[in-house]
């Protein structure tokens, strides 16, 4: 029995035509708010990455990091913070509040109202000096972000993945790293960032989500009161990316002093949210490498002991598939061969009943569990809407259940190996 009511967002428009989506649930001890400001992964990507760092530095009311932190503690350790995320060729800002629902605190039920006010101030009312972000804070956050970008290298898996993406998509906006570029940061001025912030407030399309044990009407009233920033004229975001034509295969190798080689393969496919057969693509990715019964895990790790970690990931807006493995240097050729063999097997329709069942069940289970994962649900709802499709969990489950072997085989045949990237000593 599906608890249908649990998953329906109550959607209303706040003043300024900002959509508020509320998902009431009794499962949470907290109230969670997410405010999204949509954007393109354009030349402004570094400004967008730096902006939340500056906003996190202080509001007019709580103007230092210390004052901000003290206020979070006052609100029972509430989470209030902004960040940035990359999704295909979009790049959006998220501001989040999570605070304990006053029902679980003896005598302190105004935490939510105060938390919401704090979140609102963080976005709209930063501490400025002469109308600009403060100089010291600006310089500090610039160098913090520079370091964060430079220390990507500390996490070899992520580093290798970013390098694969850069090699594979040199002309596509998707090549850009979500946390920005150090060159852009160097030349970024306080004035430019402050102007960018004002631009975001007036032009970035925005959405607000609320999840928790709340009364939708009362919550809407509270948002209308606190988040009433008036009219704005949102820009139109880029349409979903156009599929790239297959081109010549390339191999990229980078040397570094590492104990374990990172082997990354990048494929292009014909399926995205808006084109081709995404459901079949998801099943194909599952059989290939998204869980422990999948071909990669079984053949690269379990049968040959070549790797501890090996898996595949889909990028669904651009139709990309990545395979990522950590293997011993001397085993790279053997691992590469076995990985490619798994793709060939899929293309030849070699899928066992066990592989198919395990993948179907595993995907279905993940979707059932999604109903308890509110951060993920909210993010998925937002992301699907960016792609112009509403996310209906139960319909989506059904759609995935109906994928046939032939469609999976076809999805594998549509794969085109674009780039192999190797990080090795």
Partner 1 sequence: MSLSIERVSNETLGEQVVRAELPGGLPVFFCPKPDFRKKYACYSTFFGSVDSQFIPPQQKETIKVPDGIAHFLEHTLFETEKGNVSDLFAENGAYNNAATSFATTTYLFASGERFFENLKLLIDFVENPVFDPEKVEKEKGIIEQEIKMYDDEPDWVAYMGMLDSLFQEHPLKIDILGSVDSIQTIDSQTLHDCYRTFYTPKNMALFITGDLQEEEVLEFVEKTSKYGSSNSAPHSGESSADQGGIVRIYPEEPTPVARELFESRMAVGLPQILFGFKEPNVPQSGSEKLQLDMVTKFALDLLLGRSSNHFLDLYSRQLVLDDFSVSWMSYAGVGVLSVGGETPDPDGMMQALEKIFDEAKNFTLSEDDFRRAKKKYMGGMTRAFNSLEYIASNYTYYRFYGLDLFSVLDEIQKVDQDAVQDRLKTLFKPERRTVSKILPLG
**For binding to partner 1 (CB under 8 A), which residues are involved?**
3, 6, 25-30, 64-66, 69-70, 72-78, 98-100, 104-106, 136, 140, 143-144, 147-148, 150-156, 256-260, 291-293, 301-302, 305-309, 326-328, 354, 357-358, 360-362, 364-366, 368-369, 371-372
Q: What is the C-alpha separation between 116 and 122, in angstroms, rounded?
A: 10
CB 374, min distance to partner 1, A: 9
**Shortest separation between residue 180's beta carbon and partner 1, angstroms:** 15
DSSP codes, 225-264 = HHS------PPPPPPSPPPPPP---EEEEEE---SSEEEE
- In a 13 Å sphere around the CA of 136, the CA atoms on its Cβ side amount to 6
Distance in Å, CB of 370 to partner 1, minimum? 8
Q: In the bound complex, what is the minimum distance in angstroms from residue 399's beta carbon to partner 1?
A: 17
Catalogue the E-assigned strands of 66-172. Answer: 79-87, 90-100, 128-129, 132-133
Contacts of 7 (CB under 8 A, 6+ apart): 23, 371, 377, 393, 394
- Is the Cβ of residue 70 or residue 405 nearer to partner 1 in the bound state? 70
What angle is formed at CA 269 by the lines to CA 266 and CA 271, rounded to 5 degrees?
135
CB of 187 vs partner 1, minimal distance in Å: 21
State how far the alpha carbon of 201 is from the alpha carbons of 224, 231, 283, in Å: 17, 10, 40
Three-state DSSP state, 233? coil
Query: For residues 115 and 92, what is the distance between their CA atoms, to the nearest angstrom?
Result: 22
Nearer residue to partner 1 within complex by CB, 228 or 357: 357
Q: Which is nearer to partner 1, 4 or 233 (CB)?
A: 4
Nearer to partner 1 by Cβ, of 250 and 425: the residue is 425
What is each CA distance from 288 to 171, 299, 327, 333, in whole angstroms? 28, 10, 18, 19
Cβ atoms within 10 Å, residue 388: 10
How many C-beta atoms lie closer than 10 Å to residue 377's C-beta? 20
Minimum distance from residue 29 beta carbon to partner 1 (Å): 5
> Least distance to partner 1 from the beta carbon of 16, Å?
31
Pick 173 or 212: Cβ nearer partner 1: 212
Nearer to partner 1, 73 or 350 (CB): 73
Q: Please say which residue, 43 or 110, places its beta carbon nearer to partner 1.
A: 110
């Amino acid at each position: 029995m599906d608890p249908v009511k649990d998953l329906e967002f109550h959607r209303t428009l706040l003043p300024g035509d900002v959509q508020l989506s509320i998902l009431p649930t009794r499962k949470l001890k907290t109230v969670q708010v997410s405010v999204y400001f949509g954007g393109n992964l354009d030349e402004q990507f570094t400004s967008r990455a730096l902006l939340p760092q500056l906003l996190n530095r202080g509001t007019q009311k709580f103007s230092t990091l210390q004052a901000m932190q003290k206020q979070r503690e006052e609100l029972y350790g509430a989470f209030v913070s902004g960040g940035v995320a990359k999704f295909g060729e979009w790049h959006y800002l998220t501001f989040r509040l999570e605070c304990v629902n006053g029902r679980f605190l003896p005598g302190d039920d105004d935490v939510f109202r105060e938390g919401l006010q704090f979140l609102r101030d963080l976005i709209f009312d930063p501490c400025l000096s002469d109308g600009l972000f403060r100089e010291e804070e600006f310089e500090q956050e610039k160098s913090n972000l520079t370091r964060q970008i430079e220390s990507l290298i500390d996490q070899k898996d992520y580093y290798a993945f970013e390098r694969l993406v850069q090699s594979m998509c040199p002309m596509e906006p998707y090549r850009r790293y979500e946390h920005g570029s150090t060159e852009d940061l160097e030349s970024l001025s306080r004035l430019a960032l402050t102007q960018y912030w004002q631009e975001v407030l007036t032009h970035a399309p925005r959405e607000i989500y609320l999840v928790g044990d709340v009364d939708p009407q009362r919550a809407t009233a509270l948002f209308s009161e606190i988040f009433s920033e008036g009219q704005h004229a949102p820009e139109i975001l880029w349409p979903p990316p156009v599929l790239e034509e297959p081109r010549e295969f390339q191999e990229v190798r980078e040397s570094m002093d590492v104990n374990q080689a990172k082997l990354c393969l990048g494929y292009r496919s014909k399926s995205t949210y808006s084109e081709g057969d995404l459901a079949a693509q998801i099943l194909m990715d599952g059989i290939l490498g998204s869980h422990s019964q999948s071909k990669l895990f079984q053949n690269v790790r379990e049968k040959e002991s070549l790797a501890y970690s090996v898996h595949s990931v889909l990028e669904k807006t651009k139709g990309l598939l990545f395979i990522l493995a950590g293997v011993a240097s001397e085993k790279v050729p053997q691992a590469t061969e076995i990985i490619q063999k798994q793709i060939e097997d899929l293309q030849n329709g070699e899928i066992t009943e066990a592989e198919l069942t395990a993948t179907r069940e595993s995907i279905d289970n993940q979707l059932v569990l999604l109903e308890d994962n509110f951060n993920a649900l909210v993010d998925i709802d937002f992301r699907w809407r960016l792609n112009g499709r509403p996310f209906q969990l139960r319909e989506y489950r059904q759609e995935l259940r109906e994928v046939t072997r032939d469609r999976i085989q076809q999805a594998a045949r549509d794969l085109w190996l674009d780039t192999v990237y190797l990080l090795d000593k």
